[in-house]
Structure 1
Amino acid sequence: MQKARNSNIVRIAALLLAGVLLVHIMSEAQLILLPLAWALFISLLILPVTQWLEKKVPRPAAIISVLIIVTALIGLVLYILSFQIVGLLRDAPAVTNKLNDWILSFQEIGEETLGVTNETIAQQVSSSLSGIFSNSLIMLRNSLFSAFQTLTLISVIPLYIFFMLYYRDLFYDGFLGLAKNYRTKASDIISKVNDVVQQYMVGLMGVTVIIGILFYIVLTLLGINYALFFAVLLAVFNLVPYIGVIVASLVVILYTIATTDTLFYPVAVLVALWFIQLVENNLITPYILGSQVRLNPMAALIAIFVGGNIWGVSGMILFIPLLGVLKVVFDEFEELKPIALLLGDYRNQQEVKGKEPTEEL
């Protein structure tokens, strides 16, 4: 009994050590692993289109054609958004002056209701602005390095995508060769992982487009300037579950406060964004994504924070499907099923149990 207990302790310690080592490697090798992760998910996303084109043209031509189409679509969106961004920057001084007027109004309210003098409030605001300014300098310095990293990622990802799609048969055979003792199970795992990631990414893109259109319609009807830019901002930040849309909504609401004369429009924007999020969480996402990833909210939230700490915003987006992939793998091994149980959604597990046939007595 003591020997078995010691063996379990050693096994748990080895797993914890492997986990810490894996996190360290992912953090230190970010420039290598991050573009590979993005390339893998994008490759699975465009794989069906590539396979369809390969029936008509050779594989290299099919892959290059799809990459050109995707790049052209992204370039078109960025080109249209550039006009919105230029206009937004042109209006920045007016927006800043309006925010200063709001600060002065709050100063007067604070002096009348709380007895706090303007000098005290001004000192607090000044110290806060000083802190923001110093932090901004640090962020600017870090952004220069981040810009280099971003350019590196953007230039490398298409190459990774091309080689992953071109040599996918070779990678598949090589993986099965490494797992020759579990060839059938390995093939089944690859098929399930491919289905989960592919359906999740396609569904996620569909949800993003629908949400972006709804945001654009609402902001346009409310007469908010640069509605297209803010709609794209909200849709993109919506890719980060639970957190992203809150941050983007605050930006839109602050801009609305600074560019309107009444509180009606900020309140209307807040209510409209909340209603769209309610519809998205309860109708759009469950209908399109279903339960492909099948993670419980707590596991998803932890994945977001861990991913953000390791890979930044990219980690917040990528770690949800990555954790879903791990759950699919864990489900295939009896020893790892308890971990899959911890990651899974209780409601989905109850549905699965309800479908299991009862044993005959």
Structure 2
Amino acid sequence: MQSLPAYFKYFIILASLVLTTYVLIVGKPIISPLITAFIIALLLRPLSNFLERGRINRGISAVLSILLVLLVLTGLFYFFSSQVGSITSDLQSIGERFNELLDRANTWMEDTFAVAQGEQNRYVKESLNSFLQNSTAAITGTLSATADFFTSFFLFLITLFFLLYYRRFFVAFLYKYFRPEQHPKVGATLHKVELVVRSYIVGLFSVILIVAILNSVGLLLLGIQHAIFFGVLAAVLTIIPYIGILVGSLLPILFALVTKDSLWYPVGVLILFWAIQFLEGNFITPNVVGGRVSLNPFAAIIALFFGGMIWGAIGMILSIPVLAIIKVICDTVEPLYPIGFLLDNPPIDDPDDPEKTPL
């Protein structure tokens, strides 16, 4: 390929990127659960090894590892469903407060913009009718999404089982694919991929725990109802890097606006989450996860938005570990060294050496 013209190589690379993106979009129902299962399998491999050293059958150890994942997911589902149930009991008082705020908003709109309340009510009714007319399509889409979720989840469980059960077989395949002199590099790459992914996930869980405690304590001090639920929910959303905690802060802000008589409460919640976001981005995550996954923040943000564009929320969650795996591979394969360098954190410039800082 070295003898090909530069423009021809450019079009080959561009076509490859477009084709890869197209395959990722079309193959999302299959590819996303496979990648998720691969990442979770790397996390669970030490547990499976530990169980097998205890003379437990490999298939049983894989099933027990999967049951642990299901137990964690069930615990989270039970926690959030029970909290939502307790919030539901407050809906009547919340509805009364919401109507009061709506009346105030109508009066303010009438005084400020000279829009009569009758005109406002007519607009609200038209919007409601439009929503009800489109409700059938919304329900159909929801049912379709639910069916797709369970299909993908079933594929995830099956893939996770076989990745754990046949893990040595798949590693043996990789060794057979490469020449014997490349086996040390293959082994080192596999070990580094596993270490990076496992360290990232463990570090992410640690960040979620710390942020959940900070969120819950802060909301409790502000006197916000269901503080633990809102605090844990916002912390769990940190699995979506950079924007997750901001999205998680919207619900407690709205809840404080509806349930409290003073605007200082939602403002206090906003300041609280801004402060925690600052701590999480500048101190907590860099110290807990930073040294384990060395990625350029700009590359991570691009990967985050690209993952969200092609796969939605699951793409945003998977973007950072997948990018970390790509960087490990680029650092190992010599022709890809420049890409691995670009994805890494940039070196600190020396202001005393102008040759190191030409710009």
**Is TM more than 0.5 here?**
yes
**CA distance change for structure 1 residues 121 and 239 in 2, over 3 Å: closer, same or farther?**
same
Provide the residue aligned with 1:194 in structure 2.
Answer: 194
**CA distance change for structure 1 residues 6 and 329 in 2, over 3 Å: closer, same or farther?**
same
2: CA distance, partners of 1:11 / 1:130: 55
Provide the residue aligned with 1:89 in structure 2.
Answer: 88
> For 1:18, which of 13, 16, 29 is the aligned residue?
16
**CA distance change for structure 1 residues 97 and 135 in 2, over 3 Å: closer, same or farther?**
farther
Q: Does 1:69 align with 2:68?
A: yes
Which structure carries more relative contact order (alpha carbon 8 Å, separation 6+)? 1
**CA distance change for structure 1 residues 146 and 217 in 2, over 3 Å: closer, same or farther?**
same
- What is the root-mean-square deviation of aligned Cα atoms in Å? 2.7
2: CA distance, partners of 1:135 / 1:246: 29
Partner SS for 2:239: coil
Provide the residue aligned with 1:8 in structure 2.
Answer: 6
Q: Does 1:263 align with 2:260?
A: no
Deviation at 1:274, TM superposition (A): 1.6
Where does the alignment leave 5 or more consecutive residues of structure 1 unmatched? 352-361
1: CA distance, partners of 2:33 / 2:271: 38
- Give me the identity figure in percent: 34
Where does the alignment leave 5 or more consecutive residues of structure 2 unmatched? 350-359
Provide the residue aligned with 1:217 in structure 2.
Answer: 217
Provide the residue aligned with 2:356 in structure 1.
Answer: none
What is the one-letter code of the residue matched to 1:106?
Answer: A
Q: State the Cα deviation string for residues 180-230 of structure 1 (Å, max 9, x = none).
A: 263333222212211111111111111112212222222233332222322
Residues 81 and 228 of structure 1 are in contact (CA less than 8 Å); yes or no, is this contact kept in structure 2? Answer: no
Residues 196 and 292 of structure 1 are in contact (CA less than 8 Å); yes or no, is this contact kept in structure 2? Answer: yes
Provide the residue aligned with 2:177 in structure 1.
Answer: 178
Q: Does 1:140 align with 2:118?
A: no
2: CA distance, partners of 1:96 / 1:304: 37
**CA distance change for structure 1 residues 263 and 245 in 2, over 3 Å: closer, same or farther?**
same
2: CA distance, partners of 1:68 / 1:230: 27
Q: Does 1:337 align with 2:341?
A: no
Within 5 A, what are the aligned runs for 1:243-322?
A: 243-322=243-322
Provide the residue aligned with 2:155 in structure 1.
Answer: 156
Q: State the Cα deviation string for residues 28-60 of structure 1 (Å, max 9, x = none).
A: 122211111111111111222222222213233
Residues 44 and 197 of structure 1 are in contact (CA less than 8 Å); yes or no, is this contact kept in structure 2? Answer: yes
2: CA distance, partners of 1:198 / 1:132: 45
Partner SS for 2:112: helix
Report how many aligned residue pairs link the two structures: 349
Provide the residue aligned with 2:48 in structure 1.
Answer: 50
Residues 242 and 281 of structure 2 are in contact (CA less than 8 Å); yes or no, is this contact kept in structure 1? Answer: no
2: CA distance, partners of 1:156 / 1:141: 23
- TM-score, normalised to structure 2, is 0.87
2: CA distance, partners of 1:136 / 1:303: 34
Deviation at 1:129, TM superposition (A): 5.0
Q: State the Cα deviation string for residues 5-41 of structure 1 (Å, max 9, x = none).
A: 8533222222221221121112112221111111111
- TM-score, normalised to structure 1, is 0.87
What is the one-letter code of the residue matched to 2:318?
Answer: L
What is the one-letter code of the residue matched to 1:215?
Answer: N
1: CA distance, partners of 2:237 / 2:64: 29
What is the one-letter code of the residue matched to 2:53?
Answer: K
2: CA distance, partners of 1:188 / 1:9: 36
